[in-house]
Structure 1
Amino acid sequence: MQDKILQALRRNAADDAVQLARQWTADEPEQPQAHRWLALSLQQQGQFDAALDSLQQALALAPDNADLHLQHAGLLLALRQFEAAGSALDRTASLNPNELAAYLMQAHMALLRNDVDEAERITRIATRLDEDSPELAALNGMIALRRGEGDRALALLSAAARALPDDPRVLYALGFAYMSKDMLAFAEQAFRRVLELNPAVTSLRALLVQLALRQGNSESAAATLRQVLAEPDGDTPAMRRLAGELELQSGQPLQAVEHLLPVLEQAPGDRHTLQLLLMAWQRLGREQQARDTLDALLDTHPQLHDLWLARLSIEVVGAAEAVAVGERWLQAMPDHLPALETRMRLHDMAGEGDAAEAMARRIVALEPGRVSGET
C-alpha cells in the first residue's frame, strides 16, 4: 500500500493518495505508518489541520519514532507553529542524534529568528554528520550573507545551487547574494527561477520590478508590474504608486493618473503620491482636475499639511487664486506655522506690509525666535 500511495503522490494525484491511505488506516488502524502516509497525502492535498490530526495518531502509536517527530516538525513549520516545531525537532535529535534533516531544520528556524550565532552552532554540529552536504553549504552561505560576507556567501550558495538547482530556498538566498555584489541581472534570474518553482511567493514580483528598474529595463519592469496588479493580493497602494511612477517615466501621464488617484483616496496625505500626481496633471494640462480633486479631499481632510501644499502649488505664486488658497489653509489650521508663513509671504508680495507684520508677530508669539517671523 505504501508504494501505491507514493506513486500517487509522485504524479501529484493527492486525492488518490488520500483515498488509498484512508483505506489503509481502516484496514490497519493500529499501524502508525498508515496514519503517517495519510498525513503526507492530506498535506499534499492542502488539508494541513487534518494532516496534523493523522500524524498525531501515528505518534500516539509510535512515540519513539524519530522519523515521525521529524515529519511532525515539518508540518508544524508549514502551519507556522514555530515553538511546537522546535520541540518536535529537539525530540527527533534526542531519538536519533544522527538525523541530519533535524539539524538543518533547526538551523533554518534559528535564521528565521535572526539568531545567526545559534544557526552557526547547529550547522557546525551537522557538519560532523555530512560535511559535503549541499544543504549545509546553503546554510553556511545564508549565515555568511547575514554576516555581510558577500564573497563567501556567493561562493557557497552558487555551489549549493549547482547541487540543488530546484530548491527555492537556495535560489532565494542566492538572489540576495548576487544583489549584495550588485550583480543585478544574475539576481533577477535567480528570483525568476524561484517564482517558477513556487508561484505563491508573490512578494518577489515587486523586487523583480525594482531590479528591472535599476537595470534601466522599464519595459520588463512594466510587464512584471502588470502581473503583480493582476494577482488577488498584488493590487496594493504601494504597487499602484509604483505603477504610476513607471507610467510617468514612460511618458504615459494619463495612465499614471488612473493608477495614482485610488492611492490618493486611501492616503490623501502621502507626499510621494501627491508629487507624482501633480507632475502627471501638469503634463496633461489638467490643472482644473487637480484643483477639483484636491479641494474635495481638503473638505474631508482639512488638517493635512502636504495636501494644502499640493493645492497651493497649482496656483501662480502671488496670484489672487494663491491668496484664496492661503486664506483657506489659515482658516483650517489657524495655529499652523507653515500656513501662517505662507500667508505672511503672500501679504508681503502684495505690498501689504502691515498685514505681513501682523502675521510675523503671530508666528513669533507661537514660536519665539522662529527665523521666518523674526526676519
Structure 2
Amino acid sequence: MRLVAVVLLAVLALRVEAASLLERGDPPLPGPLAEVIALIEEGRFGEAELRLAVLRAAAPRDPALALAAAEIAARRGDAARAESELRAGLAAAPDATALWRALGRLKALAGDAEAMDQAFRAAIAARPDERANPLEAAELWHERFGRPDRALPHYERAAAITPDDAWLLWRYGLALARAGRTAEAIAMLERAADADPTSPLPDHARGGLLAELGRPAEAIAAYDRALARRADHTETRLARAALVLSQGRTGEAIAEFDRAARERPDIPQPWVGLGMALERAGNIQGAVLAYRRALERHAEDPIALNNLAWLIALGAGEPAEAVALARRAAALLPDDPSVLTTLGEALRRSGEAREAEAQFDRAIGIEPTAERHYRRALAREALGDRAGALADLDRALVLDPRHALARADRGRLQP
C-alpha cells in the first residue's frame, strides 16, 4: 500500500549543539591567543597548554585565557576541569558573559538544562542588553532540549533588544508554533518576512502552519510569496507541490515536482513527489521511473522503496523485486501498517501466502482498514482458509460498504 506523505527537506535552521565552548564568530585578532586557538582546533593540546601558560602568567585575570583553558579540558573529555577553569575565570571577572555562556554550553553538553539556564541567566544579569545571552539560551532550549515553552521568554528578551532582526523573529515564530501558539506564530513570521524581503524562510514556515490549519489558499499564497523572494528555494517548492497534490491539482503538482527535480536533481524528495503525482495521474511507468531515480539518490528512502514495491507488486515488474524492495522498506519502517501491507501483498503475489497473512495480521493489528482485510482475505483464500477469507471480506464491507472488490469476491466465495 502506497505511503502518501511526501518527505520534504527540513527547514534550514541553526541547531546549537554545544559541541565547543568557544564562540562561533569572528576569529580572534592575530596574536598569541589566536595561535593557541589554532593549536586547539588542530588537536595539539599539549602545545596549546604550554603557550597558554605563558600568556596566563602575564595576564592571569584575562577571561579569554580561562575560556581557552576550559576548551582544552572539554575537548579532552574532562568536564569537571573545564567547569573549574570557567568558574575560576568568573571569580576573577564575574561580568565576563563569554564565560557564562561557555558554562551554559558545558551544562547543555552534560544534559543539565536547568544548570544551563542558570548560567545564561547570570550572563543576562551581567549584561542585560547583550543579545547573545538570551538568544543562545533560547536556541538551546528550543533545539537541543526540545522545550520551546522554555525558549520563548529568552526569544522575547532577545527580540526586545533587536526587534528588527529577521532571523531572530523567524526562530521566535518557529518556537511559538512548536509551543502550540499558532496565531502568535503566524503573526511573528509575518514580522520576520517584513523585516527581510529576501528570505523565503518566514513565509515557508507560515505556509506550513496555514496548511496544517486547513487554510490551503492562504498557505499557497504564503508559499508563492516565499518563491517570489527566492525562486530556487526547494523546500518551499516541494511543500507547495505536496499541498496542491493533496487538493487534486495533479497537473500543477507534476509541474512543481518536475521543476524541483531539475533544480535539485541530487536529492530524492522531488523524485518521490513526482512519482506520487504521476501515479495519481495514472502514469504508472513514469511513477516507477521517478521512484527509481529517487532510490539512485538515496537507496534507503523508505517512501520510494515502499511505493515502488507496491507498483511492482500490482503488475509493473517482477514479484521477486517487489518483495526485495518491500523488505527493505519494512526494515526502515517496521511498524508502519502501509509498509507491512505492501510487503504482505508482494509476498502474496510471489506465492508466499503464509508469510503474507502474517504481515497483514500485523498491519491490521496496528490500523485495521477495509483494504487490509480484503488483502488478507485473498491470502487466506490462497491458503485454503475459506472461512477466514469470508470473515475478512465481511469485515472489509463493514468498514467500507462501497468496497466493490470485497463485495465481488464475497459473492464469488459464497454465492
Common fold: TM-score over 0.5: yes
1:3 lines up with 2:41 in the alignment: no
Deviation (angstroms), 1:138: 5.0
Distance 1:2 1:246, change over 3 A: same
Structure 1 letter corresponding to 2:136 = W
Structure 1 runs not aligned, ≥5 long: 9-14, 315-341, 343-375
1:251 lines up with 2:272 in the alignment: no
Distance 1:241 1:83, change over 3 A: same
Match of 1:53 in 2: 150
1:184 lines up with 2:284 in the alignment: no
Of the three residues 151, 164, 185, the one matched with 1:85 is 185
Structure 2 runs not aligned, ≥5 long: 1-21, 27-40, 42-70, 72-104
Between the aligned partners of 1:19 and 1:268, the Cα distance in structure 2 is: 45
What is the aligned residue count?
288
Deviation (angstroms), 1:59: 1.8
1:69 lines up with 2:166 in the alignment: no
Distance 1:134 1:256, change over 3 A: closer
Deviation (angstroms), 1:210: 1.7
TM-score by length of 1: 0.55
Distance 1:160 1:66, change over 3 A: same
Match of 1:219 in 2: 320
Deviation (angstroms), 1:217: 3.7
Relative contact order higher in (CA < 8 Å, ≥ 6 apart): 2
Structure 2 letter corresponding to 1:62 = A
Structure 2 letter corresponding to 1:186 = L
Structure 1 letter corresponding to 2:377 = Q
Deviation (angstroms), 1:89: 1.0
Q: How does 1:40-189 map to 2 (within 5 A)?
A: 40-45=139-144, 47-49=145-147, 51-63=148-160, 64=163, 65-77=165-177, 82-96=182-196, 99-113=199-213, 115-126=215-226, 129-130=229-230, 141=241, 145=245, 146=247, 148=249, 150=251, 153-164=253-264, 170=270, 172-179=272-279, 180=281, 181-182=283-284, 183-189=286-292
Further displaced range: 169-178 or 244-253: 169-178
Structure 2 letter corresponding to 1:272 = Y
1:28 lines up with 2:49 in the alignment: no
Between the aligned partners of 1:115 and 1:275, the Cα distance in structure 2 is: 40
Between the aligned partners of 2:158 and 2:232, the Cα distance in structure 1 is: 36
Structure 2 letter corresponding to 1:66 = A
> Pairwise CA RMSD of aligned residues?
5.0
Contact 1:127–1:136 (8 Å) recurs in 2? yes
Between the aligned partners of 2:182 and 2:296, the Cα distance in structure 1 is: 27
Match of 2:57 in 1: none
Deviation (angstroms), 1:53: 1.6
Contact 2:166–2:192 (8 Å) recurs in 1? yes
Distance 1:36 1:168, change over 3 A: farther
Distance 1:25 1:77, change over 3 A: same
Measured against aligned partners, the alpha-carbon deviations of 1:246-294 in whole angstroms (never above 9, x if no partner) come to 2221122332344455678896997515632442223xxxx6xx66x79
Structure 1 letter corresponding to 2:203 = Y
Distance 1:130 1:163, change over 3 A: same
Deviation (angstroms), 1:129: 3.8
The secondary structure found in structure 2 opposite 1:225 is helix
Contact 2:200–2:229 (8 Å) recurs in 1? yes
Deviation (angstroms), 1:116: 4.2
Percent identity (aligned): 16
The secondary structure found in structure 2 opposite 1:3 is coil
Distance 1:161 1:76, change over 3 A: farther
Structure 1 letter corresponding to 2:374 = H
Match of 2:99 in 1: none
Between the aligned partners of 1:261 and 1:217, the Cα distance in structure 2 is: 24
Further displaced range: 138-147 or 111-120: 138-147
Between the aligned partners of 2:254 and 2:361, the Cα distance in structure 1 is: 42
